[in-house]
Chain A
């Protein structure tokens, strides 16, 4: 079932990260299944312990099913100084989940991440591919509401 993806890449070890990204992006729940790891291992002839090590090393990969919207809140020092821990608390409250968990309705997954490169607008978070800066607790509640309204 991953053949369509594999077709795009030569079976060399260098392509591991690209293939994993592609697989994750193409999964409706944005994660890499165990089965996918085995297929990649066969395709690239790279042992699964190595692939597992890579997946868990990089925060952007997940081996757990994730929500439609992935919230990545920056926890780097600039955001921290601007109070991202309060935002984090608010998000957890609002969504009723902890780090790396997914809401029951499958809409949101909450993750922490390293610098998103827009420290001027700290605290910052990213939802899927959109950046949200200068966050306040009120703002966060509204953003979540808006997205929920969209569905």
Chain B
């Protein structure tokens, strides 16, 4: 790779060709002020805050979109640059609904931090903003244009990375703003609720729909029995908020915090992740044995499920009918759990803590309800959970570790790695291998499907069956690549080379979920993913089929994977949706099932 030498504020630095000035400056030890730029995304160069002087050029250059050249001499800080930046920032703030104390981004907001470091005097900033209504049309995402700085990150994420095409710039000049097509609102767009736009938004303009009040109401209602489950990736995403190392896995503290909040029963989604593997793995093995030439595609990521329903309805018949771990837990929390504990299902409030905004949408799907009551009553994102911990004043770092309640909480390493891309595949292979051969894999680590690469492929040899071809994609743009290929193969030859396909809507998988802490970029996702694999490696049980609580629940209640009862409780069906508003058009699977 060709290297380029330049100096930034007189500091010499060498970077690969193609590096932008803003990145070169970081390497030289200077963070150029920026607003619209994010290291994971192609620059939009929209805000102009990152201007720097480059020797030989009469006007300052935008550091985020200027590639370095040999011998460049750059100054990132001068009186003129400071004034220019301040003017831009004041104009941004003049058109901004500054309400930091109650803002979801308070303390994390890039605009707030910049205004603070640049010593802006708000008294001198005129108020030019014409307030627009907040968009509450979606069960997952809230969009407040009044806090938008038109950086365009959300549009890049939604269109280029996720290829969902829900957002666009509308109008131009001073009128330019982010909108959905026809201003129909997020809830009436193609949006699949993945929440990636909320993670990358530098301000509080995009956020999850807040459901913490509902949880507090349930917790403070003595007639309610509140049950909680937490997704695999949550435990790797809490610690750093409280000053622990990023990626510290803290299940014991997580359970303790939940008890301190007053949940009546604290169990774990990881248990139903193992259960998902039993159901999905069985489905997969049956499909292998029948040599259908069709794949089994995972179904645990609700952003992905809505995406496939919208853009590839013809492939929904190959999506596993197994519910997601959250919805399996939800169903059991309203059936098995009250039966065992002698409770009335009507008194149970089932809460799920998820790294995911799309889980809020999933919980509201009518087919995942019993007599009109959702199996999962309330879904909180990691961010909302963290706010509750803060509100309750829990000293997370020092809280004494606790254990979960038995019954639906024991988990294996296979359940843990569900939180990272490739994890569901790896867990499924471990169990599929066992289901076919009656033996465990000698080496349960399937390295080929780990890591953040967009599309991963592997061939696993299972004695007695032969070669199993698998594909793993994270991020919906990558999912599209795999689906296009499968669609083409099936259309042309009636079958596809893939046997089993894992898709997670968010880049990095759930550790990179849309409900994870703001600013959770690729680097953080990698750390959190690695932490989950480390937890897995240290566990006594690493395969779902060895989970003793799984064995027990089948023996006591569900009979066996794929049984009639399992189908009734743990499987679901899908729809075709229109590409414009994402509305259900028709049911596409499960028409002959038990439902």
Contact = CB atoms under 8 A, between A and B. Distances in A.
Interface of A: 34, 37-38, 41, 47-53, 56-57, 63
B574 interface: no
A49 B180 contact: yes
B170 A47 contact: no
A56 B171 contact: yes
A41 B580 contact: yes
A56 B175 CA distance: 10
A49 B171 contact: no
Interface stretch (B143-151, B160-168, B462-470, B556-564): B160-168
Contacts of A47: 165, 181, 190, 579
Interface of B: 159, 165-172, 179-182, 189-190, 579-580
Given A34-B182, A37-B182, A49 B172 contact: no
Nearest to B191: A49
A38 B580 contact: yes
Nearest to A38: B580
B171 A52 contact: no
Contacts of B182: 34, 37, 48, 52, 63
B172 A52 contact: no
B169 to A, nearest CB: 6
Nearest to A54: B168
Contacts of A38: 580
Contacts of B167: 49
Contacts of A50: 165, 168
30 contacts: A34-B182, A37-B181, A37-B182, A38-B580, A41-B580, A47-B165, A47-B181, A47-B190, A48-B182, A48-B579, A48-B580, A49-B165, A49-B166, A49-B167, A49-B168, A49-B180, A50-B165, A50-B168, A52-B170, A52-B179, A52-B181, A52-B182, A53-B168, A53-B169, A53-B170, A56-B170, A56-B172, A57-B169, A57-B172, A63-B182
A50 B181 CA distance: 8
A73 to B, nearest CB: 17
A52 B580 contact: no
Nearest to B158: A49
Residue among B166, B167, B182, B189 with max Cβ neighbours from chain A (10 Å): B182
Contacts of A37: 181-182
A44 to B, nearest CB: 13
B476 to A, nearest CB: 13
Contacts of A41: 579-580
Which of A48, A52, A63 has the largest count of B CB atoms less than 10 A from its CB? A48
A47 B158 CA distance: 12
A56 B168 CA distance: 10
Contacts of B579: 41, 47-48
Given A38-B580, A41-B580, A51 B181 contact: yes
A34 B581 CA distance: 12
Contact of A57 (B166, B171, B580): B171
A24 B172 CA distance: 20
Q: Which of A34, A50, A51, A52 is the most central at the interface, judged by chain B CB atoms within 10 Å of its CB?
A: A52
Given A38-B580, A57-B169, 10 more contacts: A41-B579, A41-B580, A48-B181, A48-B182, A49-B167, A49-B190, A52-B170, A53-B168, A56-B171, A57-B171
Contacts of B170: 52-53, 56-57
Contacts of B580: 38, 41, 48
Best-buried of A34, A41, A47 by chain B (most CB within 10 Å): A47
Contacts of B180: 49
Nearest to A52: B181
